[in-house]
Structure 1
């Protein structure tokens, strides 16, 4: 019984001590940035490194209730109000670019070509051509993807010391951008996109902004965005969007269209114009198809708006692996959630154009002549003849042909056959075969019969 009382008394003392420690810690406040103390840190060097002029180290000491400024325990955390942090101009870096993009820099009369690695300061204006795209990386790690035919002004870019936080204000005059914004604390750290009709402001989210001739759209994919126009603000949560007409208040916040159920290609795509399909989305007026070199979508190789029909043909792509995404567009121009597919293109070298025998043609010669037009991508050709459309029963094969024709190696009995041909490039890479081309080996027509001549007067008939 005495042991139990001693244990109970010891437990109460521990709880009381823990409570005093918790009370001594500075209360968590909105707008604080946290710094993890490292070995050999002291409050004087930290104050000089992070605090703006006029904010003394004593204020930082008092704010964090530091009893001994000479000894900061490694691993402990200091809270610094964002408003106290040193502010300096920041730059945006061009992480990737594809196509024709130009930048107008302050003080320069002519535009310069945008290149990967270029740094752009506040006041720079960027234009992308119709088929161009680029990604900007900002001081806080946020990224912006500019699509084609867009104009973006870098209005304000400030960094809070070496904290990784930034205050970024962009002006989208026309076009469309996607923003992946790093979460930031504090009222002074934020990311804002302004269009002619609205302002979208966040502190960490993924969202798109579009600026057209008469209205703008904001679509939120992650987090929450504050959208304002004509003295009215609305909160737009993830999976929702809002359209704002020029000079008007934001419209009704509405759910974005769901991602289409893409029929992703299971095999490598070997044909230019491959038909990609998906079930129609209720409420979709159009669809947007985008293809990028990888799943980061830092640049776009294709950015196309299709019609209302739920399908699209894929363009000619160099051999390789790509990422593809499709989303629906509603009547207000709001673009929905993305459906993404990996794509493997193996279209090259393209097969030559077949001349004879054509599909379902007839060959009367026992050894038919196969002809094609030579391909500029080909150094040689691979020709095959089979008795079935799947080419499981090969009758003849020539894997290293040159020229534009071939006589069948042997006489073919009457019947149906299939042939195909593929190009091989100068590196030995074999491209896709043509479709199986059926033809019939038929007997030549009988020779016309000639009867015995007859005499009629002085003439033979």
Structure 2
């Protein structure tokens, strides 16, 4: 599957922009309990000037007046204090609105107040965000630009200004750790700007889609998917332009940035689109040049609402704690410098509920020594029935049993021949629409049917010929051994045969033991049967005319 179409330049939509065209609705303003700004009045200050300076709107002078006892707006007393409440600051033009939060994300205001970040909060200059390893936040700027803060990141919103009259944005973010990804709206006015600073470099743009990563004590990187980014090295002031498809890295104390092509997107063509376990498990081929991978997952058609994100050192990604539904996963490789490569997106459908019951008997790999196998499983809460399949092959291409609605938590399967079988069971509940809702099957469990061999041993003798016969099944081969002692220390006779009888000649008279080892049609080699005893006799006529057996005992005729 190709990458989802992209919104950035107006022709293609990026994978992130699937839901960008949807209106976000009116933002609820949250007061984050910050300390107000306290302005020490200087000679010449007016409420009009202070409203413009702090609230970017001189018309807010009346609100300032009300908060400060209605002083004369044009004759403020030098040395007095004008309080600018946090609530007014968060209503001014600019700032950032929280449009999505998942996992653990906390904010800290410029005055040190902290709390859990919530959707629809407004953030302003000086606020900080900190995400847990699986946390994620999406921010919308006044000009429509979108900033996504990945897990294990620390971001300061240094400057979030926007001039309503001139449609001019001035955004400056400081990334101390982790990663942010930005889709910046094209900013035509020459004075508009969008910049992400790190301790090692600054990345500035005027409309593009790019990411910035900061590895503590290691390197700062930027990767560009759309447009162009200008990097400025903090140590030397040297600049470099990074075009789409390239990445730039600045190591600690490096005087210049190193540019390199982005890694190719990983190959997810072999990933199972249907996931039937609560933990989504996606394995894919390792990507050449990648030392780790970053992965995101979000509900289909809501690209900004990332449900989970992670970084892994192996080409296997797992997500837990998600409800059943349709999702999109995005994965990219990360090279040795920390530059993140091109992403690939892939649709995933999670259908893991109702979860299958736990199988009880036969145990996996267990042996059944009769033609009937009783399959048992745990009773599932809320179940209105169960579905059951039994097959000779693990793929269940031609099930011998295919029951769609069993009421009990066990089922007897009869008429089985020796061989390997696989079985699985699923739960059926009543869905929200009142119709049966069938969950996925359990993992296949194998059991073996091994009907007894040699349980009915026959022996007949005619003259010098002794015929042994036994019971078995079609397709079996047999190793038959005859010995004088029950421990089979010395083998008197041995034969391999596909028949279920053996004619022996010239066995001396006496007591013998026989045991049989069967090899089933599927190649399974059984243990030897329990030794069974039989006797061979020989008759001879003595010199006195009487009949005697081979061991000298006289045979009395009727």
Superposition TM-score, scaled by structure 1 size: 0.70
**CA shift for structure 1 position 439:** 3.2
Tell me the SS of whatever aligns to 2:437: coil
Larger Rg: 2
**CA shift for structure 1 position 386:** 4.3
**CA shift for structure 1 position 395:** 4.5
Alignment deviations for residues 209-235 of structure 1 (CA, whole Å, 9 cap, x no partner):
112212211111111111112221111
The answer (yes or no) to whether the contact 1:264–1:341 under 8 Å persists in 2 is no
**CA shift for structure 1 position 142:** 0.2
The answer (yes or no) to whether the contact 2:103–2:134 under 8 Å persists in 1 is yes
Alignment deviations for residues 11-67 of structure 1 (CA, whole Å, 9 cap, x no partner):
xxxxxxxxxxxxxxxxxxxxxxxxxxxxxxxxxxxxxxxx999xxxxxxxxxxxxxx
Say yes or no: does 1:157 pair with 2:160: yes
Say yes or no: does 1:269 pair with 2:272: no
**CA shift for structure 1 position 177:** 0.6
- 1:103 maps to what in 2? 107
Greater fraction helix: 1
- 2:204 maps to what in 1? 201
The CA distance in 2 between the partners of 1:225 and 1:325, in whole Å, is 23
Q: Number of residues paired by the alignment? A: 365
The CA distance in 2 between the partners of 1:377 and 1:170, in whole Å, is 51
2:239 aligns with one of 209, 233, 245 = 233
Relative to 1, partners in 2 of residues 1:289 and 1:378: Cα closer, same or farther, differing over 3 Å? farther
1:143-154 counterparts in 2 under 5 A? 143-154=146-157
The CA distance in 1 between the partners of 2:398 and 2:268, in whole Å, is 35
Say yes or no: does 1:345 pair with 2:350: yes
The answer (yes or no) to whether the contact 1:226–1:234 under 8 Å persists in 2 is yes
Tell me the SS of whatever aligns to 1:96: strand
Alignment deviations for residues 352-396 of structure 1 (CA, whole Å, 9 cap, x no partner):
232222444322244322122344575542123345655465544
Relative to 1, partners in 2 of residues 1:52 and 1:311: Cα closer, same or farther, differing over 3 Å? closer
Tell me the SS of whatever aligns to 2:239: strand
**CA shift for structure 1 position 280:** 3.5
- 1:434 maps to what in 2? 442
* More off after superposition, 271-280 vs 136-145: 271-280
Alignment deviations for residues 205-264 of structure 1 (CA, whole Å, 9 cap, x no partner):
111111221221111111111111222111111111112234443322121112123225
1:170 aligns with one of 170, 173, 176 = 173
The CA distance in 1 between the partners of 2:104 and 2:421, in whole Å, is 50
- 2:221 maps to what in 1? 217
The answer (yes or no) to whether the contact 1:132–1:300 under 8 Å persists in 2 is no
The CA distance in 1 between the partners of 2:180 and 2:210, in whole Å, is 9
- 1:59 maps to what in 2? none
The answer (yes or no) to whether the contact 1:265–1:343 under 8 Å persists in 2 is no
Superposition TM-score, scaled by structure 2 size: 0.59
**CA shift for structure 1 position 310:** 3.7
Tell me the SS of whatever aligns to 1:207: strand
**CA shift for structure 1 position 431:** 1.3
Relative to 1, partners in 2 of residues 1:162 and 1:116: Cα closer, same or farther, differing over 3 Å? farther
Relative to 1, partners in 2 of residues 1:182 and 1:433: Cα closer, same or farther, differing over 3 Å? same
Greater fraction strand: 2
Tell me the SS of whatever aligns to 2:203: strand
1:388-403 counterparts in 2 under 5 A? 389=394, 391=396, 393-401=398-406
RMSD: 3.1
* More off after superposition, 322-331 vs 159-168: 159-168
